[in-house]
Amino acid sequence: MATLSRACLLRQSVNCRRELVPGLLERRNISRRAVTHFGGHHSNPCTLRSTFLIHRSLLICKSVSTREAPEETEDESALGGGQGPPDDNDGEGDGEGSGGAMGRLTSAFIFAFWAAFIGYCALLSPNQTPTLDVYFLEKFLNLKSNDGFQMNQVMTCLWYIMGLWPVIYSMLLIPTGRSSRNKIPVWPFASLSVFAGAFALLPYFALWEPSALKVSGQEMEGLPLRILDSKIFALVVGIAGVGLFGAAASAGVESWSEFLRFFNSSRFIHIMSLDCIALSFFAPFWIMNDMESRRWSNKDGWGQALAFIPFLGPIVYLILRPPLSPEEG
């Protein structure tokens, strides 16, 4: 131990000599310059001493300020003596894992709802008038000639409202509802919803993954985005929707009583009604997603409240929402 202490002291003394010798030489040169500056040997000794002390102080301050910190050796790094600041990305994987688990849980819930919906409509829904259901479908598709039978006004309005829902969802999903992360296109599901309604859209809802919205100016000028983001088109859809909703509301007690009777006996009317309810149930989420993508901060909260009004809420939102801003990316 004593030998080790002597070796450490000897090393420190050698290092001190290495640092002091250049300093002494530099101070010697300074004193010579000071003597020359103040008149050589005829200058006042007190003045020369003061000048020397000032320069010596400046040299000490300079040596302290410019002295570099010793580099950390590999041995010290291995022992953990020089750990750096924590990485900003630490824990990011945990956040993604939590979000991924929540996304998988939501997808599983939507798939379960979709399967239960299909199972109920196929096995448990009322089916007392199968022949009449075929007749209703032919009448709605104008495949039957005018035979004098007057279709129920509420049922007719519901049929045309179901024709507007695919348009409303296309305006909400394209482009702000894209699932760019897993490269699943939205247009096949939106197209099939014209015939299958929520049965076609629910699988996309389950597979959808949020991603950053990037819309180019060229895409904004092209089809179909030029139509789906148009205020005029939204106004036309809104006028049609409000007209159908008003016609159904003013149908009268007899029409509503007949509609309820067919709802409890006709599988076609029953499923169409539940389909409309399902589409109204999922609409608020996509309205909120569209608001966020368009950076529309609704401080009063009336936009969020509007989303929960069945059918009319999404229509009014599509009319009032701000246009998309193109972003190259």
- The ranges assigned to domains in the chain are 1-41, 106-320
Residue ranges of the chain with pLDDT lower than 50?
1-10, 14, 16-21, 23-25, 27-28, 30-98, 328-329
What span, in angstroms and rounded, lies between the C-alpha atoms of 137 and 147?
15
- Per-residue pLDDT at 101: 74
- Per-residue pLDDT at 82: 42
- Per-residue pLDDT at 192: 95
Chain-centroid distance, C-alpha 243? 35
Longest Cα pair distance anywhere in the chain, in angstroms? 135
- Per-residue pLDDT at 12: 52
- Per-residue pLDDT at 197: 95
Task: Give yes or no for a contact between 168 and 280, defined as CB atoms under 8 angstroms apart.
Answer: no
Sign for the CA dihedral angle at 141, 145, 151, 154 comes to positive
Place of tokens 């006004």: 153
- Per-residue pLDDT at 15: 52
Q: How many CB atoms lie under 10 A from the CB of residue 48?
A: 17
What span, in angstroms and rounded, lies between the C-alpha atoms of 16 and 22?
11
What span, in angstroms and rounded, lies between the C-alpha atoms of 116 and 65?
75
- Per-residue pLDDT at 179: 78
- Per-residue pLDDT at 279: 97
Task: Give yes or no for a contact between 161 and 241, defined as CB atoms under 8 angstroms apart.
Answer: yes
Task: Give yes or no for a contact between 193 and 200, defined as CB atoms under 8 angstroms apart.
Answer: yes
The kind and range of the H/E element at 143 are: none
What span, in angstroms and rounded, lies between the C-alpha atoms of 262 and 133?
10
Q: What is the pTM of this model?
A: 0.67
Question: What DSSP character marks residue 85?
Answer: P
Chain-centroid distance, C-alpha 271? 34
Q: Is 85 exposed, middle or buried (0-12, 13-18, 19+ CB in 10 A)?
A: exposed
- Per-residue pLDDT at 327: 64
